[in-house]
Amino acid sequence: METIKVALGDRSYDILIGQGLLKRSAEFLAPLAREDRLLVVSDETVWSPLGMRLQAGLGGIEAVPILVPAGEESKSWAGLASVVDALLAHGVERKDHIIAFGGGVIGDLAGFAAAIVNRGCNFVQIPTSLLAQVDSSVGGKTAINVAAGKNLVGAFHQPSLVLVDPSLLDTLDPRQVRAGYAEIVKYALIEDSALFDWLEAEGTKVLAGDPTSRTRAIAAAVAGKARIVEADERETSGRRALLNLGHTFGHALEAETGYSDRLLHGEAVALGCVLAFDFSVLRGLCSEADADRVRAHFASAGLPTRLAELGLNGCGDALAAHMTHDKKREGGRTAFILVRGIGQAFVDKEIELSEVAKFLDRAA
């Protein structure tokens, strides 16, 4: 088992990563249970194959499920109300630890519910998708989607503990695994070129489910995110903004494809990273060789690397228009994460959207 500490003063916590960890849940969660029970927020798709496994790992402690339908629609005012009402109906108290057992949707929803119920109670993340294991379960951002846009209402609320068991991914759809893998590559591209070298050699094993490679890749990505979150918990200094590499382009692609199954978030991030590299090459910041390596690696992982694959070539203006709605905009400008090479990302706030639109129009 690997332990990664997130050092945030009195909000510090451990991330435990290990194959088969769920079986040992009682060891970590029994001290957090009250009257031998834990309230567990999950979705129906996760709970049906994995609920029994969690219950078995908890031994004599009862897992009380609070279930919402699977999917992004549950990250809504209505979904939040149903979870908060259920927690209160079960008599949740401030010192209780709510368990978020699912992908990023459940982590964001249960985390936000924990941030506001009784004016805030504790929560533990047990992420079950690869995206949640390497990204959304760490860092304390919680949110729901509202009419004006995605993730616009939420809170910073750090978990007390994160338990990551890569064996939970065995029931996850392979396309979702590839999408989560894109976020691992993203960390490597931000500031860990050695990790990128390793992924080029071992990434196929990570995707295929080799437990040792998976644990190592997850731990590397989580450690990368933890370091960035420690340095800039609330995204005030700009360091945490680096985590948005590939995301300004990616969100525009998701918006243009209607946030649908046509393009999963991680797939948009893969293509978004490729575009960030290509744009950096165009601006004379990064070598073409690095951009080629990035595209080749995402392609080898079965992720999209060309606008034409999505029929979005020649849509520069439409894509750039979505960027004006980016919630990370400050003073009317969109911050772009650009690169000087693999593992060398930086924030650039001086980019003109018209230049981006022209670049996207010409990109294949």
Ligand X SMILES: NC(=O)c1ccc[n+]([C@@H]2O[C@H](COP(=O)([O-])OP(=O)(O)OC[C@H]3O[C@@H](n4cnc5c(N)ncnc54)[C@H](O)[C@@H]3O)[C@@H](O)[C@H]2O)c1
Q: Which residues are catalytic?
A: 119, 141, 183, 225, 235, 240, 244, 247, 251, 265
Contact between 235 and ligand X by CB under 6 A: the answer reads no
**Per-residue binder mask for ligand X (CB under 6 A), 213-232, x = binder:** --------------------
Stretch that binds ligand X, among 127-135, 189-197, 282-290, 345-353 (CB under 6 A): 127-135
> Which member of 22, 38, 46, 206 binds ligand X (CB under 6 A)?
46
> Which member of 55, 167, 176, 193 binds ligand X (CB under 6 A)?
176
Residues 246-265 that bind ligand X (CB under 6 A): 265
To ligand X, the closest distance from the beta carbon of 201 in angstroms equals 26
3-state secondary structure the chain: CEEEEECCHHHCEEEEECCCHHHHHHHHHHHHCECCEEEEEEEHHHHHHHHHHHHHHHCCCEEEEEEECCCHHHCCHHHHHHHHHHHHHCCCCCCCEEEEEECHHHHHHHHHHHHHHHHCCEEEEEECCHHHHHHHCCCCEEEEEECCEEEEEEEECCCCEEEECHHHHHHCCHHHHHHHHHHHHHHHHHHCHHHHHHHHHHHHHHHHCCHHHHHHHHHHHHHHHHHHHHHCCCCCCCCHHHHHCCHHHHHHHHHHCCCCCCCCHHHHHHHHHHHHHHHHHHCCCCCHHHHHHHHHHHHHCCCCCCHHHHCCCCCHHHHHHHHCCCCCCECCECCEEEECCCCCEEEECCCCHHHHHHHHHHCC
Q: Based on CB atoms, which residue is closest to ligand X, 168 or 363? A: 168
To ligand X, the closest distance from the beta carbon of 77 in angstroms equals 15
Stretch that binds ligand X, among 132-140, 187-195, 285-293, 339-347 (CB under 6 A): 132-140
To ligand X, the closest distance from the beta carbon of 316 in angstroms equals 25
> Which member of 57, 79, 103, 272 binds ligand X (CB under 6 A)?
103
Residues 272-331 that bind ligand X (CB under 6 A): none
> Which member of 58, 66, 67, 70 binds ligand X (CB under 6 A)?
70
What is the rounded distance in angstroms from the CA atom of residue 23 to the CA atom of residue 41?
A: 18
Q: Based on CB atoms, which residue is closest to ligand X, 245 or 291? A: 245
Contact between 58 and ligand X by CB under 6 A: the answer reads no
Stretch that binds ligand X, among 102-110, 206-214, 298-306, 327-335 (CB under 6 A): 102-110
Question: What does residue 352 show for φ and ψ, rounded to 5 degrees?
Answer: -85, 130
Token duo for residue 128: 């079950």
Task: Report the alpha-carbon angle 205-13-23, nearest 5.
Answer: 55
What is the rounded distance in angstroms from the CA atom of residue 161 to the CA atom of residue 122?
A: 9
Q: Based on CB atoms, which residue is closest to ligand X, 55 or 176? A: 176
Contact between 25 and ligand X by CB under 6 A: the answer reads no
Contact between 66 and ligand X by CB under 6 A: the answer reads no
> Which member of 129, 158, 280, 305 binds ligand X (CB under 6 A)?
129
Contact 199, 297 (CB under 8 A): yes
Contact between 45 and ligand X by CB under 6 A: the answer reads yes
Stretch that binds ligand X, among 19-27, 168-176, 293-301, 330-338 (CB under 6 A): 168-176
Contact between 131 and ligand X by CB under 6 A: the answer reads yes
What is the rounded distance in angstroms from the CA atom of residue 62 to the CA atom of residue 33?
A: 9
Residues 330-359 that bind ligand X (CB under 6 A): none
Q: Based on CB atoms, which residue is closest to ligand X, 168 or 190? A: 168
Instruction: State which amino acid sits at residue 3.
Output: T
**Residues at the site binding ligand X, with contacts judged by CB under 6 A:** 43, 45-46, 49-50, 70-72, 75, 102-106, 108, 128-129, 131-132, 135-136, 139, 141, 151, 168-169, 171-172, 176, 265
